Structures are given as C-alpha cells and as structure tokens.
Amino acid sequence: MRVTVGVSGGIAAYKAAELVRALQRQDVEVHVVMTESACRFVQPLTFAALTGHRVITSLWNEIDAGSAAAGQSGIEHIDEAQWADVLVVAPATANILAKFAHGIADDFLSTMYLATNAPVLVAPAMNVNMWEHPATRANLEILRQRGVRVVEPGAGDLACGMVGAGRMAEPETIADAVLNALGRRHDLAGEIVLVTAAGTREALDPVRFLGNRSSGKMGYALADAAESRGAKVILISGPSALHPPAHCEVAKVTTADQMREAVLERMAEATLVIKAAAVADYRPVNFSGQKLKRSGPITLELAPTEDILAEVVRRRRPGQLIVGFAAETENSMENGRAKLLRKGVDAIVVNDVSAEGVGIDADVNAATFLTSTTAIELPEMPKRKLADRILDEILTLRRPRSLVVELDEETPQQKVLSESVSPASVQRQLIVE
C-alpha cells in the first residue's frame, strides 16, 4: 500500500513525522509532499530520512534520467498522483483547504490533489477562529460533498495561546483513517448500521429546554468508522454542531419522541443498531406557550420519556444486533450490568463520565464493552479510535459460538460442557468450531 502525506504550513507540521511512522508500522510505503510554507516549520531532510524517499517541495523539481527510463512521464505531479493509493494532508491549513475547494493549483500539493483519483483525507489544524470562520466551514462542506474525508480536529490549548477547536487530530487517529481508506478493514460490508447520536431537548417554553451536554462526538465517530469499514450507515442525530460523514443517511431530530419515531421507522432495515444518543429521561408535563418570566422559585412536574432502547429490543428481528450505551457517574460496572440485563441488549458500552476531560463533550473517551459473559476494558483514546475498537468488539458477536468439549480419559467420546468459557478454565478442554 502506498500513501502520499501532504504537509502544509502550520505549527502541527512536526506531527506529520509521527504520522509517517504510524503508517510505516503498518507496512505502508510513504512519500511526502511539502508546501513551501511547511518547509519553514520542518526541514524536508526529516521526512527524507524517515521515508527513504526524496521529499517533493516544488512543481519545478527536476526529473532525473533514471525516472524517465523507468517509464515515468516526467510530469512529477501526475506520476505522484498515479502512484498514491491515498493522499492524506496533515496538517491541512485553511489555505490549502481553500485551494482544494476552489480548484486552485499553484503548488505541487494542490496540483496533485486535482490530478489524483485516489481517496483524499484532510486533517485540519488552525486557530479556532479560522476553523469556525464561515469561509472555512463552506470550503469543508464543498470538500465533503466531493468525497474528501475530514479527520476532525480536537479542542484544547492551541499554539496561538487560545483554547478551542482546531488542534490537529492525533497521528494514530489519522493513520487509522488512512488504513480504513486503504480498505484494510472492509469488514462491515453488507451491514446496515443505524446509529443514534447527540442529546435530545425537551421544551419547557419557546426558549428553554431540558437537555444534557452531549455533543454527539461519540455517535458521529461510530457512524464515520462504520461507513469507512464498508457499512451503509443511517445516522439519527439530536442537535449537534458536527458534520456527519459524507455518504451516510442523516435524520435530524430534537426531542425524545422524534428520535423514537425516527428509530422505529428505520430499524427494520438495520442489521446493527447502536444507541449512542443521550436521550433525555424526562420531559416537562406542562409546556408554556409564552416565555416564563422570572418570578421566584418554580416547581416543574416531569414525566419520563419513552424507553427507546427497550422498545427497539422488543421489536428486534432475528439476527439483528443491538448495542446500547450507559453513561454513569458512580458504580459504573454495577449499573452498566444491570442495564444490560434489564434492557436485553447484546452489549452495553459503559462510560464513566465523572472523570474530567473524558466522555461527554470531550474529544477522548474510555469505556468498558460489556456483554453477558465479558467485560472488555477500552482505555482512554480519541473517540474516533475508540469507535473502531467498539466496532471490533461488536464484530466478535457475529462469530459463531465455539463448543467446549471435554475428552473423557477412559473413552474417546467427547462431552459438551458449555457454549462459552473463560480461557483460564480451558485446561483439558478442546475447542471445536
């Protein structure tokens, strides 16, 4: 597999070296193309030493006689565009995104982008105000519509001293996205995955609502991961500022009742349902048609919302996998296992959201993938990477169960013990598929 890493001129350019290493660890051959501005942050020699290949920094690099003799065209941006199985740009500055979106080809990287038919990924990195500017948002939307995959930046302390979104995704996260684009994992082909994401809002008056802090990042990451692994994805989302994956079907809802209707309308066609949304548990009994005025303490009467997950389980069809989420602040394993048994789902992803910087509205998460017989710890990692790990565990539920048999010492007969046991208990036992 062959990947061209494009490096544009941002402070995150040094992280591109880590991306190169992460790809090489997966036996990917890497070439590097740098813009003139990128060379001011990192020397081309760094990438030449890592890759063993000459780094391309200009449209006007000379083609040697050996390349021509090897059958290359002598038009280097065309040769590189045809060589690469994937083009990934990390960091992708606001400038390079604008060039890509509007077909400006005034350097090697932007020219190669227009010349390649390979999948293209961009990992934006910039100041938070630049990231949120309408021009940048519009350019990203254009690129998404053209099939460019966007590896969303994280939020936190930025090099400029500001705090907010715009920090380039971690190299390992970008590498995972590249591997998915390469088709290394196309293990969800043929699956139809319904994912719910973000929180719901229950109106109190025309301007106020009961809700929660869910951003939808985990659900959107799951939708993106499933799509990149070959699944058809139906994303049912509460209010969120995130952009959904380019090719998934999206239904936008606001309330728990609307989410219920949308899920029940589409669930019959799904082979896998992942309920990652943070659905409000209660709604106000009385809705005020006018904004409530400040007049001292008030008492709200609340009624429970519909239990969507339980209804999905009741309506499931044979062979349909159903996975829920449980956000907990105490006794997470006990509460998660109780929910697993109470709801009757195939698995529960348990999140302890009490830790600072992890879980709700954060870019990283940690979880336990809980089934009736296993508890798989998934340590803290970026949500996009965690999404793939969750899908890995879900796929194990698709595998045929093994029969555990014990050899009788006096006769050659085999006796079936159970359908699943822990590895520690398999001593004189034989696993028979």
Question: How confident is the model at residue 415, as a pLDDT?
Answer: 36
Q: Which tokens go with 383?
A: 């949500």
Question: How confident is the model at residue 69, as a pLDDT?
Answer: 42
Distance CA 320, CA 308 (A): 16
pLDDT level of residue 296 (50, 70, 90 thresholds): confident
Residue 303, pLDDT above cutoff 70: yes
Distance CA 219, CA 225 (A): 10
Q: What pTM value is reported for the model?
A: 0.68
Residue 423, pLDDT above cutoff 50: no
Candidates 100, 96, 97; CA nearest to 113 is 100
Helix (H) / strand (E) containing 263: helix 256-266
Q: Pick 378 or 417 by higher pLDDT.
A: 378
What average pLDDT does this structure show over 237-242? 94
Residue 412, pLDDT above cutoff 80: no
Q: What percent of the chain has pLDDT over 70?
A: 85
Catalytic residue among 11, 39, 160, 395: 160
Gyration radius (Cα) of the chain, Å: 25
Question: How confident is the model at residue 407, as a pLDDT?
Answer: 38
Q: Which own/partner contact pairs does 112-118 have at CB distance under 8 Å and 24+ positions apart?
A: 112/4, 112/6, 112/33, 112/77, 112/80, 112/81, 112/87, 113/6, 113/87, 113/89, 115/77, 115/78, 115/81, 116/81, 116/82, 116/84, 116/87, 117/81, 118/81, 118/84, 118/85, 118/86, 118/87
Question: How confident is the model at residue 114, as a pLDDT?
Answer: 95
Question: How confident is the model at residue 359, as a pLDDT?
Answer: 73
Residue 72, pLDDT above cutoff 60: no
Distance CA 4, CA 82 (A): 11
Residue-wise pLDDT for 196-231, tens only, equals 999 999 999 999 999 998 999 999 999 989 988 889
Question: How confident is the model at residue 314, as a pLDDT?
Answer: 95
32 - beta bridge partners? 5
- In one-letter notation, the amino acid at residue 114 is L
Residue-wise pLDDT for 286-295, tens only, equals 999 999 998 8
What average pLDDT does this structure show over 351-357? 82
How high is the mean pLDDT of the chain?
86
Helix (H) / strand (E) containing 158: none
Asked if residues 198 and 237 have their Cβ atoms less than 8 Å apart, the reply is yes
Question: How confident is the model at residue 210, as a pLDDT?
Answer: 93
Our answer to whether residue 39 is catalytic in this structure is no
What average pLDDT does this structure show over 343-371? 88
Q: Which tokens go with 144?
A: 């998404």
Helix ranges, 40-133 (H): 44-51, 65-69, 76-83, 94-102, 108-115, 128-132
What average pLDDT does this structure show over 19-38? 94
Question: How confident is the model at residue 73, as a pLDDT?
Answer: 46
What average pLDDT does this structure show over 399-407? 41
Question: How confident is the model at residue 421, as a pLDDT?
Answer: 35
Question: How confident is the model at residue 63, as a pLDDT?
Answer: 52
Residue 385, pLDDT above cutoff 90: no
Residue 242, pLDDT above cutoff 50: yes
Beta-carbon-side half-sphere exposure of residue 118 (alpha carbons within 13 Å): 28
Residue-wise pLDDT for 106-153, tens only, equals 999 999 999 999 999 999 999 889 999 999 999 999 998 888 999 988
| Domain annotation for the chain: domains and CATH numbers | 2-181 (3.40.50.1950), 192-396 (3.40.50.10300), 403-432 (no CATH)
pLDDT level of residue 246 (50, 70, 90 thresholds): confident
Residue 360, pLDDT above cutoff 90: no
Q: Pick 192 or 63 by higher pLDDT.
A: 192
Question: How confident is the model at residue 155, as a pLDDT?
Answer: 74
Question: How confident is the model at residue 180, as a pLDDT?
Answer: 82
